[in-house]
Structure 1
């Protein structure tokens, strides 16, 4: 009997992942309850001890040991019920702890059933569910399909842990990028912001901590292979990968891609940007039902107002802007030149070469005099600047 008890407890620890000591305490507690019931309400304080090595059970009442024969059928049945209850509670605690630690991460399961619009997902030891509000309207799943979902929260309920999952949360896209892009997982490329309308479009802003690694290129992959895998997982949702910049004008221009932006005026006090575009770019900049500008606003944290050039000029804030509209034009940033990363950009700016025109008017000799810029890099930068200056 005692050896069987230890074997059962060891088996439960292996299969259910419940700590052996928790199970021992549960059995002791159950036997105390059973002893009290068997011996009657007038029984003095009952104590049960189980030897952790041999499994031998000792029951004491009023300082006197009670042999196991004194337990009747009712006591044994009660002990069994309480043991089962304690084991279930312990299992639930293990599941709660396990999945609570996974909040903010992705789990994989199987679509088990559909219940009042919710998708119930079989996660192996337990179930999770995706409420209708956390589903993408464009996605379709069938019973038995494998599914990846984002863990939103884990709640304790009378029926056990309730694991709330999501396919619409922006965190799902972020974690998919971490799984698919080694540079993001390793921390070389950082995700700065995400805005998402599940099922339709996501904009994600990325930044490279290493100037030798192109953050957008790393996310796209060879011939789009990396981002294609993410799009496939999201069942065709469009993804715009935006290069993050601490220059808010550049950032807004990138966020509104694929539209071509003419000018950007900023009101930093109220975090509002007035963006002007050519007439043929207006619908592209605004997007279907305003989606492009709405996602760009969420991504940058700025309110963006888009107008065609003529209307923007009419609604200019003051005479200074009307008299000199060209002053509001967005200059081409020197970081767009070949060979210019964040560090090189700072070196050039410190040397007074802060525009494409100034760099194009310099020489390789001038550029190599700047500490940190070699002859090959200088040649690349100069050729790129001259090419860009010619196009303008």
Structure 2
């Protein structure tokens, strides 16, 4: 070892940002570990880095005695006097050990310890630098791709953009500059410690804060974001200043502000939704551009029944149910969409079943439990089966049959119960085909209307 070692220490400290004293301590510890390993921890040693010569100095210490019982750690007085004329019994005297004699295995061990300590120190520095930056947007260069995703060079360190956090169908090449949102910083990891995302809803919020001053200064507050990354998003906003239009401010003059965000997200279309404390009004805004006829709110189940004109089902549901799904995510409520025609049929069906239940002096749930969900089913069932399944008296059965006979002529259309989760077979609106009559947040694939 020579002054070259000192230059290496200085260079590593500068390039990696690692404290120089820590590097020196690590080097001394690595050599100490190797010496102890070679001599099976039998020696009393001391290791020091000589700043003047740039060398590692190793000293073995022995106790001065009259009679030796431990040759590795004791020395006779007469032998000690040859090294130091002033030495006395029970003194400790040091002897230099030649580090070059450590051997290849010991030297390799020292190198491994040093490398690991440097890696640990570097990870700690990165963690301390980035741990408080979760939620920030960072920029880096695409370096390579591995099994976990894209590795992004941030300069002093690397970040990983996992596949699950990428915008679908987005493609990168080595050398591309990319922006992403920090979602996690790991304290210890063999992989890059910084995890970033381009599909996270909060990434869109961060972009709005950057592009829209009113969002940055909190004049406009973003209440929630729902994203189908790379395709469409809905952003709920409210203004704390009655003189500031939240939609206009976010869109900007001729769409300049929102277009910057759209371009960064590779064409992801964004609907700006005005947030309202009233859930029905909020839902009507969220389902834009569809026109809403009425909304029924079930607070307990957090479910909304939305009725739209027959020609508004397509824009309400959106392509592959995208519009209603995003609105449902934005609100955090389940949304079932019905056309006015279908909703009227359901109401008529409900009224008929209530009248039948009243005539039989039972509840609608009794019908449902026994599998009777329509007038036709009851009409086609034998009297004895009705009486046994529903537990009816002769009088109640007679009343039920009378009600069935009375209501049957008024019910020319089949009354089938609506299951809002069974709309996936609804046909897309294509040419002269008729639109489907019902929908929900899991709807099928009518063509989507425009967005903001």
TM-score (norm 2): 0.62
Q: 1:283 to 1:190 in 2, by over 3 A?
A: same
Deviates more, 1:263-272 or 1:178-187: 178-187
Q: Deviations over 1:302-348 (max 9, x none)?
A: 111111123223434988xxxxxxxxxxxxxxxxxxxxxxxxxxxxx
**Cα gap change, 1:82/1:114 in structure 2, threshold over 3 Å: closer, same or farther?**
closer
Within 2, Cα distance between the matches of 1:176 and 1:120?
A: 22
For 1:323-362, what aligned pairs fall within 5 Å after superposition?
A: none
Corresponding position of 1:262: 293
- Structure-1 residue corresponding to 2:25: 25
| Equivalent in the alignment of 2:40 | 41
- Which stretch of structure 1 is more off in the superposition, 300-309 or 151-160? 151-160
Unaligned stretches of 5+ residues in structure 2: 63-91, 352-452
Structure 1 residue 162: Cα displacement: 4.4
Cα distance, 1:123 vs structure 2 = 2.6
Equivalent position of 2:263 in the other structure: 232
Q: Find the counterpart in structure 2 of residue 191 from structure 1.
A: 222
1:74 correspondence with 2:102: yes
Structure of greater Rg: 2
* Aligned position for 1:301: 332
CA contact (8 A) 1:154 1:161 kept: no
Displacement of 1:177:
1.5
Give the deviation of 1:183 after TM superposition. Answer: 2.2
Q: Give TM-score scaled by structure 1 length.
A: 0.70
What is the aligned partner in structure 2 of residue 213 from structure 1? 244
Closer, same or farther: CA 28–239 of 1 in aligned 2, 3 Å = same
Change in 2 beyond 3 A, CA 1:158/1:291? closer
The equivalent of 2:234 in structure 1 is 203
Whole-angstrom CA distance in 2 between matches of 1:190 and 1:53: 61
Aligned partners of 2:58 and 2:97 also within 8 Å: no
Rounded to whole Å, the distance in 1 between the matches of 2:346 and 2:19 is: 70
Q: Is the 8 A contact 1:58 1:65 kept in 2?
A: no
Aligned to 1:182: 213
Q: Which has the higher contact order (CA 8 A, sep 6+)?
A: 2
Counting only pairs closer than 5 Å after superposition, residues 1-392 of structure 1 correspond to structure 2 as 8-37=8-37, 40-41=39-40, 43-48=42-47, 61-62=60-61, 64=92, 66=94, 70-74=98-102, 77-78=107-108, 79-115=110-146, 118-155=149-186, 159-316=190-347
1:285 deviates by 0.7
Judge conservation of contact 1:128–1:164 (CA < 8 Å) in 2: yes
Contact 2:138–2:180 (CA under 8 A) maintained in structure 1: yes
User: C-alpha offsets along residues 269-327 of structure 1, whole Å, 9 cap, x if unaligned?
Assistant: 111111111122110011011110010000011111111123223434988xxxxxxxx
Does structure 2 conserve the Cα–Cα contact (< 8 Å) formed by 1:149 and 1:166? Answer: yes
Report if the CA contact (8 A) 2:136-2:181 is conserved. Answer: yes
Q: Secondary structure at the match of 2:338?
A: strand
Shift of 1:36: 2.3
- What is the alpha-carbon root mean square deviation over aligned residues? 3.2
Alpha-carbon distance, 1:229 to partner: 0.3
Aligned equivalent of 2:359: none
Describe the superposition over 1:135-179 as per-residue Cα deviations: whole angstroms up to 9, x where unpaired. 222322223211112233344666354443322222221222222
Provide the rounded CA distance (Å) in 2 between the counterparts of 1:214 and 1:303. 29
The alpha-carbon distance between structure 1 residues 284 and 11, as it changes in their structure 2 partners (threshold 3 A), is: same
Q: 1:59·1:65 contact (CA, 8 Å) conserved in 2?
A: no
CA 1:18 to 1:183, structure 2 compared with 1: closer, same or farther past 3 Å? Answer: farther
Measured in 1, the distance between the counterparts of 2:270 and 2:208 equals 11
Write the deviation string for residues 359-380 of structure 1: whole angstroms up to 9, x where unpaired: xxxxxxxxxxxxxxxxxxxxxx
Looking at structure 1, the residues matched to 243 and 276 of structure 2 have their Cα atoms a distance apart, in angstroms, of: 16
Cα distance in 2 between the residues matched to 1:170 and 1:142: 24
Number of residues paired by the alignment? 318
Residues 151 and 166, structure 1, Cα contact 8 Å, conserved in 2: yes
- Quote how far apart the aligned CAs of 1:43 are: 2.8
Deviations 1:31-66 (A, max 9, x none): 32244246x225344344569999897755557464
